Every structure is written in structure tokens, then in C-alpha cells.
Amino acid sequence: MAIKDMSQTRLRAWAATFFWSVSGVWFFAAFFSGGGAEEFDTDSGRHLISAAGILFGFVGYWATLWLTRRRGDEVVVDERDLQVSARASQGTLVAVLMIMFLLCTLLWMTHEADGVLAVGWMWFLAYGSMVLGLVINSVAFLILDGSMGGRG
């Protein structure tokens, strides 16, 4: 399907999937390079690289929102788009909560004997949950939109 034939909401979902996936891989690579969670909190270079990855996601998606904004009297979002978005958001909430619960439980089980958890894991949980939620939401929208006979 050509970009010009896509609905505004579908195009934005594709853009979100791209920008936030790249941002997530960028953060993941910066986080686990050079020592992982144990050294992340004291490595300002990796903080800067991680922040640049997150900034890439925000700037890319905001540019998409601006470039696909409503022009004139055209209808860009209908009731069906709103219904698909609502279902995608509900599914995203459940998925992110389950994944974060499992990740926190895994971290606890892994580090329980140590009695401490590296502060770097808090960075990972914070940035990771945000990126995970944004990617899952956009992918869920694309799947639901396609399964409900998407209009482009």
C-alpha cells in the first residue's frame, strides 16, 4: 500500500513503530554496552547516548505528527479509527503491565541473594517501559486496523 493511500492514523502508527523501535534499539545498545546496569548510573557518556536515542524517537514522531496534520476540511480520523485506537490502548496497557511485572520479578529473583539492585536497572525500567508501551501500542493499532478491514 502506498503512503499516499494510507489513513492519517495508520501512517502515524507506522511512523511510531519505526521511530520508537529504532529509539528502543538505540537505548538497549547504549544501556548494555560498556558494563550494563552495574555501571550505567555513573557513565554520563552512555546517559547522553541513551538520551539521544529517546530524543530521536520524540523528534521523529513529532515531525510525523506535524507533517500529517489536518489540512482544510478533510476528515482524517473517523469513529472506526477511534475504536481501533481505544482497543489498541487497552491491549497495550495489559501487555506492558504484564511484561514489566515479569521483568521486575525476574530482577528480584536474580538479585535477591545479593540484597541490592544496581540503580542502572531503574533507568532501564523507566525508559524501557516508555518505549515498550509506544511500540506495542502502534503495532497493536496496525494489527487491529488490518483485522478490522482497515481503510488504508
User: How far from 136 is each of 3, 49, 50, 128, 142, CA to CA, in Å?
Assistant: 21, 23, 20, 12, 10
Question: Exposed (0-12), middle (13-18) or buried (19+): which is 100, by Cβ within 10 Å?
Answer: middle
User: What confidence tens digit (pLDDT) does each residue in 1-16 have?
Assistant: 677 778 888 899 999 9
- 69 versus 133: which is more confidently predicted? 133
Mean predicted lDDT score pLDDT of the chain: 90
Q: What is the pLDDT of residue 141?
A: 94
Q: Looking at residues 10-32, what average pLDDT do you find?
A: 95
User: What confidence tens digit (pLDDT) does each residue in 44-62 have?
Assistant: 999 999 999 999 999 999 9
Residue 150 has pLDDT above 80, yes or no: no
Cell 497495550 locates to: 92
- Kindly give, in sequence order, each residue whose CB lies less than 8 Å from that of residue 149, ignoring residues fewer than 6 positions away: none
Quote the pTM value: 0.86
Q: What is the pLDDT of residue 71?
A: 67
**Which cell goes with 25?**
534499539
Place 41 in a pLDDT band, splitting at 50, 70 and 90: confident
User: How far from 151 is each of 7, 58, 80, CA to CA, in Å?
Assistant: 7, 27, 9
Collapse the DSSP code of 118 into the 3-class scheme (helix H, G, I; strand E, B; otherwise coil) and give the result: coil
